[in-house]
A and B are shown apart, each in its own frame.
Chain A
Amino acid sequence: MNSVTSPASTAEPPGRWRQLVADWSSDQRAFQVSWGKAMMWIFLLSDTFIFSCFLTGYMTVRIASTTPWPNPSLVFSLKIGGAEVPLLLIAIMTFVLISSSGTMAMAVNFAYRRERVKAALLMFATAGFGVCFVSMQVFEWSKLILQEGVRPWGNPMGAPQFGSTFFMITGFHGLHVSAGVIYLITVAVRLLKGRYDGPGGTGGNYQIVEIAGLYWHFVDLVWVFIFALFYLW
């Protein structure tokens, strides 16, 4: 915990930008976690606010709508052997995403045990579940757009706001899942290549797996709220 040792502090009075970098990179810690983990948490907090604003906006237009809201239970039902099973696709998507959270948690565990191959394989499995989830979302969207005629400005089943909020909320969540898949694969490949091993077999640091895991669990967390507030309401 020495004083600030930025290159600029010894010579001339530092420029404003140098000063800013020195202040934000020096040993002034409120959170006893690595900067990477703290930054991920702060990002996730900001994301929480964005998703909450979307869901609150959806609540507002849904309460205020005088035209009936389409029944999500029926809109998202699937025909299995002639019988309509309500909300089946969404239930499967939920289980897939929860399973991806399970494999991710185990990946973090193996990373801290320094079993990097197992950790990387579990991360690939997680990414696979993510791809599976997004694929089902593509199916869901195309069914809604092509067969049911739902648009951001209207739908044949009732309140036009159904379309706009649906595409906004699930679209933004699907974007997060897709970005997460790329993120996980990137980290897993780098893990296998030994990028996080540190110089000369010093042990390195696999905490990046936990940080990536935080993001992935957050995506699952958001889906819990979307599932309850959009599909079950």
Chain B
Amino acid sequence: MTSTTGQQHPISLYLKIWGLLFVLSTLSYLVDYFNFHGYLRWTLIIVLMLMKAGLIVAFFMHMAWERLALVFAILLPPLCLLVLVGLMATEADYTFLTRLLFFR
């Protein structure tokens, strides 16, 4: 019966991921605590964020063991959002510059 045996992984694996998430969260908190600035801050924030998200999706949500059909159906569409983010960042920069010109 596949349904009763599906997604069985050793508890120790989950505990390790849990610990790793704690370490990564502490690190991202320290980024703020030590007041890093500029590109260093941004790189650390984004990298730590993506590592945490990856661990949660891959191991806690079992994506690492799912068939590719499901993995692609779930993970590819959000990539389109990067286009939206890019568009809106450009647009926001433009709005900001326009405001500086006309509303100050």
Residue numbers of A with Cβ under 8 A of B are 30-34, 38, 41, 44-45, 48-49, 52-53, 56-57, 59-66, 73, 86-87, 91, 94-95, 98-99, 101-102, 104-106, 108-109, 112-114, 203, 205-207, 210, 213-214, 217-218, 220-221, 224-225, 227-229, 231-233
Contact = CB atoms under 8 A, between A and B. Distances in A.
Contact of A45 (B32, B74, B88): B74
Contacts of A62: 92
A206 B4 contact: yes
B73 interface: yes
Interface string B1-44: 10111111101001101100110010011011101000001000
Q: Tell which of A57, A109, A225, A232 has the most Cβ of chain B within 10 Å.
A: A232
Contact of B14 (A66, A106, A206, A225): A106
Interface of B: 1, 3-9, 11, 14-15, 17-18, 21-22, 25, 28-29, 31-33, 35, 41, 45-46, 48-49, 52-53, 56-57, 59-62, 66-67, 69-70, 73-74, 77-78, 81, 84-85, 88-89, 91-93, 95-96, 99-100, 103-104
SS class, residues of chain A in contact with chain B: helix
A99 B18 contact: yes
A25 to B, nearest CB: 18
A148 to B, nearest CB: 19
Q: Tell which of B3, B25, B45, B69 has the most Cβ of chain A within 10 Å.
A: B3
Given A34-B3, A49-B77, A73-B32, 14 more contacts: A30-B73, A32-B67, A61-B92, A63-B89, A86-B32, A95-B22, A98-B21, A101-B18, A109-B8, A114-B4, A220-B60, A224-B49, A227-B49, A228-B28
A106 B11 contact: yes
Contact of A98 (B5, B18, B84, B96): B18
Contacts of B33: 86-87
SS class, residues of chain B in contact with chain A: helix
A60 B87 CA distance: 10
Nearest to A48: B78
A49 to B, nearest CB: 7
19 contacts: A31-B69, A45-B78, A48-B78, A49-B81, A52-B78, A56-B85, A61-B92, A95-B25, A98-B25, A101-B60, A102-B18, A112-B5, A205-B3, A205-B4, A206-B4, A210-B6, A214-B61, A218-B61, A224-B52
Nearest to B51: A224
Contact of A112 (B6, B41, B46): B6
A60 B89 CA distance: 6
Contacts of B93: 63-64
A207 B4 CA distance: 7
Contacts of B59: 105
Contacts of B7: 108, 112, 210
Given A109-B11, A109-B14, A30 B69 contact: yes
A228 B46 contact: yes
B49 A63 contact: no
Contact of A102 (B15, B41, B45): B15
